[in-house]
Every structure is written in structure tokens, then in C-alpha cells.
Amino acid sequence: MNKKAFNLNFLADAVHILKETVLRRLASGFHEQQFDAKKILSENKKDATVQKELKEAIPEMETVEELLIFLIALTPHLQPGFFENIMHEAIPGGCDFPEFGGVKGANHRGMLPTGETAQFILAGIDIEERLKVHHYFSEEHFFYRKGILWLEPVKEGEPKMSGRIIIDQEWLDKFLFGKESAPRFGIDFPAHKIATAMNWDDAVLHAQTSKQINDISIWLNHSQKLMEDINLGRKLKPGYRVLFYGPSGTGKTMTAALLGKSVQKDVYRIDLSQIVSKFIGETEKNLETVFKKAESKNWILFFDEADALFGKRTQVQNSHDRYANQEVSYLLQRIEDYTGLLILASNFKGNLDEAFIRRFHSIIHFPAPQRAERLLLWQKAMPQIIKAHEDVDLNQIASKYELTGAAILNVVQHVALHSLSKGLKAITQDDLVDAIRRELMKEEKLV
């Protein structure tokens, strides 16, 4: 969808069209008048403009039924008492009318439409036509695939169509206000968007690592064409799965952010503390929320410290082991079905279940930087606002102290801040060595 916000006149016209359609359906239901949604819309002079605007916003929207379902989901966000007012107008005396569907929200005092509401407006009480409405809420329809709207799950035994129609809040913000809004982090959405101000020139990676990262960039830029190939497209599974492994601070997270930046895709890091639950089935539920959102938005998913979630399965000795193994089985299937780029990061490759290893397209090692790489990291990290004293020998420092890129940045930041606070004009060799010792002691390494 484009980022244009629709004006108030358009929204008023859309609500008016839905009101007229619902009133005609109610009249048809009570007085057996013939009802034709397409004819009703064509009679409305404002309909052509509304359909044109919505078509620009949602190119896949082609049918009158899709237009009406979208308006049904949208209207309570514009007029809280819309459906109650219509029912009072159509049935002045009032009566219970379960065919119309609808539920009350926890905070919203008006009626919220359900799948049954859409069924009645589109099909009345015609069973054959009502069954056709199920298609618009199926996983195959673009409403669901693009994450625009869907039916809220209901308790087992209740009709599926009695679920509330939910319209995506991010999509709604874009539609009403013309702005992007990132999902709010929490239990319902346990993932953070990650980004970086750095560029590929700032990254110092091993030559073999860089070569394999380039393979990922090639997939991001050309996979769609491959999937459209008549022969290969029907044999390949969509999606690309990668494992980054190596010591902390070697650039795994930065590389994931740079990959997203290079192709203008959002990268979301999964918060495992929010994902993993002691309650049976909750971990899978939390993960499914992220996967569904990511598929509709074409995000890159990044699982940091993936050992906690993708670890080796154990021999079943109690019920806890059995359910833990079920989680792994769910993950195996879900990552294989994910259609975008999925990156797992771990300090040790051996900690992951072998079944996951077999499913990776690429396994990329991020080794600790060697002397030449450390020297380049030091050179790229030194600040511009404070010069290095003539006694600074970065070559000696890079040779003597085995630090990762993240540790080197910590050292430079510490030295630069202390130099600024003291009003010093240059960073000395002693300043750097003292800060290096501090960093090594923090990591409990021998100086």
C-alpha cells in the first residue's frame, strides 16, 4: 500500500456506502426484497471514487465483496456506534438478531463485526452464498496473506465465523494517517526492529565470511526471478535459512542489520525471553504471531543466541522433555515454511539440533579477527574529533591484544569519553592500553 492518507470526505463516502448497503440488506431480509450488492453500489455516485481509491491502496482488491468486507472491518474505527445505529434505524422496536453476528469488545462499547456480520451483509440467509464468504477469510486470500485483516480465533466448538474481524493496526495507521508504525514490542509481539547507521565499508569480516554473506545478498536480490522460473520455481521451496556462528562481538548482528539495509527490508530480532514460556503451547503461539506478521511484511527474522530455542532434543524422561521436543519439531516445520530470509545466530554451531543444521542453505563462521583484521578495526574505530598522539602504535596494539570488533569499539569509546571530559587534545598509547586492560578484565581474560 502507498503512504497516502485518505481525506475525511473519502472516509465519509465509504461509511455512507456501507450504511446504505447494510440497510438494503436488512430490508431485504425482513421484506423479501431482492438484494444485489453490485447493483446497489453501482447506483451510488460516490462508489466509483471509493473503489478507485481503495484499488490504488490495495491493488489486489477486485470484487465488491472484498470492498464491503474491508469497509465492515474499517468502520468501527471511524464510527463506534455504526452498527447499533443501523439496527435501531432498521428495527425501531429492537429485537435479538443473531444472524447479524457481532460481539462486544473489552473496552469498545459498540458492536464489533464478526465473520457472521460479513456473511449476513453479503449473503443474507442464503446458505450457499454464506459458505462462499469463508473464502475471504481463508489463509489463501490476500487479506490474510498480506496481513490486512483476519478472523479472531474462537473457542473450540463455536462457529469459526463468529470470530471478530480484526484489521491490522499498522495497516490501519498507514491507511488513515499515511504513516508507517512499527509493531509495539511486548508479550503479543516479542521482537525488536534492529537497524544500523554503519555501511558495508565499516564491516571488517574474514574473506570467506564476506564471500558467503555475498551469497545471501544475491539471494535477496534475485530469488524472486528464480521462483518465477517455469521449471525450477515449482521445485524450490521459498525462503532462505542461514546460521551465523562464532564468538560474541564478531559482527553477526551488525551483518544481519546491514543485509536488511542493503535491500531496504526491516530486520526484526526475536526476544527469546518473551518467546519461551513455561506454559505448554505458549512458545509456539508467541512464535506464530511473529512469523505471520513477518511473512505479510517480508521481513528478515534474526534469532540471536538461538541455542535457547533451537537446541538439541533430549531423550524423553518426563513430560517436560516431551513438550520441549514438540517445540523443536514445530520450529523445524515453521522455519522451513518461512518464505523470507531467516538468520539464526549462535556462539557454537554444535549447540544446535542437527535437524536444523540440515535445513540451512548456508552456515557462516564469524571467527575472531586476526592481527590484520584487528588493525583495520582499530583504524576504522578511531574518532575524528580527537586525534591520536604520535606515540600511538595501532599495529603494535593489534598484534599484542586479541580483541573482537565490539571490544575494540568499547575501548575507543571509553578513551574518547575520558579524553573529552579532561579536555585532552589527543589520545595516547597509554590511554588505549589502560582501556584495553579494563576491557579484558571485564571479560575475565588475562592481561
What digits encode the pLDDT tens for the residues 373-411?
Answer: 999 999 999 999 999 999 999 999 999 999 999 999 999
Tell me what the pLDDT averaged over the chain comes to.
Answer: 84
What digits encode the pLDDT tens for the residues 19-46?
Answer: 988 888 888 765 545 666 666 666 666 6
* Dist. CA 62–CA 49, nearest whole Å: 14
What digits encode the pLDDT tens for the residues 165-188?
Answer: 999 888 888 778 877 667 776 666
Per-residue pLDDT at 319: 44
DSSP 250-295: SSHHHHHHHHHHHHT--EEEE-HHHH--SSTTHHHHHHHHHHHHHH
Mean pLDDT of 210-229: 92
Mean pLDDT of 428-437: 94
Residues in contact with 228: Cβ distance below 8 Å, sequence separation at least 6, in sequence order: none
Q: How far is CA 245 from CA 40, 216, 309, 348, in A?
A: 61, 15, 15, 6
Residue spans per domain, the chain: 8-177, 191-365, 371-442
Is the per-residue pLDDT at 321 higher than 70? no
User: Helices (H) and strands (E) in the chain — how many of each?
Assistant: 20, 12
Per-residue pLDDT at 358: 85
Is the per-residue pLDDT at 315 higher than 50? no
CATH assignment, 191-365: 3.40.50.300
Kindly report the number of other CB atoms within 10 A of residue 16's CB atom: 14
Neighbour-count burial of 191, counting CB atoms closer than 10 A to its CB (0-12 exposed, 13-18 middle, 19+ buried): buried
* Dist. CA 15–CA 26, nearest whole Å: 16
Q: Do domains 191-365 and 371-442 have the same CATH topology?
A: no
Per-residue pLDDT at 5: 56
* Dist. CA 249–CA 243, nearest whole Å: 16
Query: Which is higher by pLDDT, 322 or 72?
Result: 72
* Dist. CA 291–CA 56, nearest whole Å: 27
Q: Which of 198, 83, 70, 192 is nearest to 142 (CA)?
A: 70
Q: What percent of the chain has pLDDT over 70?
A: 84
Gap between the terminal Cα atoms of the chain: 56
Per-residue pLDDT at 326: 63
Is the per-residue pLDDT at 318 higher than 50? no
As its CATH architecture, domain 371-442 has Orthogonal Bundle (1.10)
- Dihedrals phi, psi of 293, to nearest 5 degrees: -65, -45
Is the per-residue pLDDT at 316 higher than 60? no
Q: How far is CA 18 from CA 64, 99, 106, in A?
A: 11, 18, 25
Per-residue pLDDT at 169: 84
pLDDT band at 446 (very low <50, low <70, confident <90, very high): low
Neighbour-count burial of 18, counting CB atoms closer than 10 A to its CB (0-12 exposed, 13-18 middle, 19+ buried): buried
Mean pLDDT of 267-285: 70
